Amino acid sequence: MTRLKTVDIAGLDSMLSLYEAELIAKTGDDLIGLACRAADISKGHFQKRVNALSIGLIPITSGQGIIIGFCDAVASILSHVGGKIFVTQKPDVGGWAESFERGADIVMMADDDRFVALNMTHRLVVDNAAATGRAFATGLNMMAGNLEDCAVLVIGCGPVGTSAVETLIRIGARVTIYDIHPSRCRDLKDRVNTPLKSAIRLADDPEPALTENKFILDASPAENIIKVDHITPETYISAPGIPLGLSEAARLKVSNRLLHDPLQLGVVTMLAMAVKHLP
């Protein structure tokens, strides 16, 4: 998983309204709408439960340590969609103690390997990678109109790509997967939990796959893997991968038929998945 840098999330809070207006223009719905569709819950269920929730964000110092602005960026996204959000004064154990003292219903934190939302009352764990894969696959489906029976290329067979493939198969898309490490493609196909896994095609060369597929989900950290010649007027790209895998010319050519953000869609979808089973 690529580690975000402070520069990736700088100004995210002040740009949220503009970001959401662009999301509505691309997909027809806002952050809550897309996240609820990705989590398969109603907006009413989400808003009724989220408004009653207290959510604690705990900075974590393990591994490469704290990313300046990370917890504040997550807090600004969550505040944008509802709920009582706080970032703990202390990191790690002190943050856990504060979350309990302040009665947090959900606690969120990230180390170098995982970013999770923990539902304290129902002992549920929601992983950002799983939520992000669902969100960006759902967003691609919304941008494109309907991906049922459509060919979709997924680049990157890690946790985000795996979740995206499962979501796309549930939607009824015909999925081709590519990863720079072929074994990861085979592992994904073995790991994907769907009876339709046999329908997944494996690409060993990205070039023909990028030329043949008009619908692309890039869940890889590869830079400049999607080039201007791969873009047609019918191309739609959903790109949870960081950094963005399009060349500058490709990004300009695909115009607004591109979904990409460092945190927004995955964080709101985590929250939707965390409240899904609340009574």
How many positions of this chain bind ligand PYL (CB under 6 A)?
16
Query: Which bin fits 33, alpha (ψ -120 to 50), beta or left (φ > 0)?
Result: alpha
Nearer to ligand PYL, 23 or 74 (CB): 74
Q: Is there binding between residue 90 and ligand PYL (CB under 6 A)?
A: no
Largest CA distance in the chain: 56
Compare residues 67 and 222 and give the one whose CB is closer to ligand PYL.
Answer: 67
Using CB under 6 A as the binding rule, the residues of this chain from 188 to 217 that contact ligand PYL are none
Instruction: Quote the tokens at residue 178.
Output: 């590519």
CA neighbor of 109 nearest in space, from 129, 135, 130, 128: 128
- Say whether residue 4 binds ligand PYL (CB under 6 A): yes
Using CB under 6 A as the binding rule, whether residue 67 contacts ligand PYL is answered as yes
**Going by DSSP bridges, is the β-strand pair 236-238/174-178 parallel, antiparallel, or unpaired?**
unpaired
Using the rule CB under 6 A, give the single segment among 2-10, 42-50, 95-103, 246-254 that binds ligand PYL: 2-10
Nearest to 109 by CA among 130, 89, 136, 87: 87
Residue 128 is a binding residue for ligand PYL (CB under 6 A) = yes
CA distance 220 to 239: 8
> Which of 80, 214 has the CB closer to ligand PYL?
80
Using the rule CB under 6 A, is 94 a contact of ligand PYL?
no
Please report, in angstroms and rounded to a whole number, the separation of the first and last CA atoms in the chain. 33
Q: Which residues on adjacent β-strands are paired with residue 236?
A: 215
Q: Which of 87, 152, 242, 273 binds ligand PYL (CB under 6 A)?
A: 242
Residue choice 12, 26, 29, 59 for contact with ligand PYL (CB under 6 A): 59
Return the residue of 24, 66, 120, 196 that touches ligand PYL, per CB under 6 A: 66
Residue 121, helix vs strand vs coil: coil
Write the CB contacts of 9 (distance below 8 Å, at least 6 apart in sequence): 67, 69, 70, 73, 262, 263
Work out whether 136 is an interface residue with ligand PYL (CB under 6 A).
no
Question: Which one among 60, 150, 203, 270 touches ligand PYL, defined by CB under 6 A?
Answer: 60
Q: Determine if 2 is a binding residue for ligand PYL (CB under 6 A).
A: yes
Q: Name the site residues for ligand PYL (rule: CB under 6 A).
A: 1-4, 59-60, 66-67, 70-71, 110-112, 115, 128, 242
